[in-house]
């Protein structure tokens, strides 16, 4: 087990500014590019991160700490953000993500103490019994997954432009 709360928080703290440096001011060609029908562009991925922040991570941490396994987590609507982002710019979304992430971290640091038992369990609607440490580890991996997704989607935009180099750029396959 590699999970450590301090190291997991280090990652969560860095994601908003990492995405801001990568995406703020970038041309629409990059931020509106996707991997085909039904897939998300960078704007939509940031919208999803905001939605997860609002309804998923801290609410589930609180449920584990206060209700244990007695109540099932509400389902997470992985498409709700597609409505929420209507009319917003990338900078709107990056700022909003930074704000909700800061709120989450403030909450997390209040909820977690040196006495917290990370083996405490909650009930996931699909997976059943899950541990607090697993929820927190997933939160960090979820950030990394979506940074990966954004850079992969953007890379694929140049799939037809790299010529023979496509042979060594495995990301394009």
Degrees, nearest 5: CA angle 43-145-17: 60
Binding mask 28-47 for a second copy (x = CB under 8 A): -xx-----------------
Shortest distance, CB of residue 66 to a second copy, whole angstroms?
20
User: Are 112 and 12 contacting, i.e. CB atoms less than 8 angstroms apart?
Assistant: no
Asked whether position 17 contacts a second copy by CB under 8 A, the answer is yes
- DSSP E strand stretches across 70-135: 121-124, 128-131
Shortest Å, Cβ 97 to a second copy: 13
Segment holding 113, helix H or strand E: none
Whether 131 contacts 121, CB under 8 Å: yes
Choose, by CB under 8 A, the member of 71, 92, 99, 162 that binds a second copy.
162
CA angle (17, 107, 54) in 5-degree steps: 65
Confirm or reject binding of residue 67 to a second copy (CB under 8 A): no
| Positions that interact with a second copy (CB under 8 A) | 1-4, 6-7, 10-11, 14, 17-18, 20-22, 25-27, 29-30, 124, 126-128, 130-131, 133-135, 137-138, 140-142, 144-145, 147-148, 151-152, 154-155, 157-158, 160-165, 167, 169-172
């Amino acid at each position: 087990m590699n999970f450590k709360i301090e190291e997991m928080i280090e990652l969560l703290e860095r994601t908003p500014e990492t995405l801001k440096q990568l995406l703020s001011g970038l041309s629409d060609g990059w931020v509106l590019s996707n991997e085909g029908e039904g897939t998300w562009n960078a704007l939509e991925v940031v919208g999803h991160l905001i939605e997860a922040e609002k309804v998923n991570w801290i609410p589930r941490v609180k449920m584990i700490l206060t209700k244990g396994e007695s109540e099932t987590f509400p389902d997470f609507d992985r498409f709700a953000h597609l409505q929420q982002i209507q009319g917003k710019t990338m900078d709107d979304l990056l700022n909003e993500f930074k704000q909700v992430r800061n709120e989450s971290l403030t909450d997390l640091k209040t909820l977690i103490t040196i006495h917290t038992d990370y083996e405490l369990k909650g009930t996931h609607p699909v997976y059943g019994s899950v541990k607090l440490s697993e929820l927190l580890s997933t939160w960090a991996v979820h950030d990394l997954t979506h940074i990966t997704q954004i850079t992969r989607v953007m890379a694929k935009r140049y799939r037809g432009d790299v010529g023979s180099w496509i042979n060594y750029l495995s990301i394009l396959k």
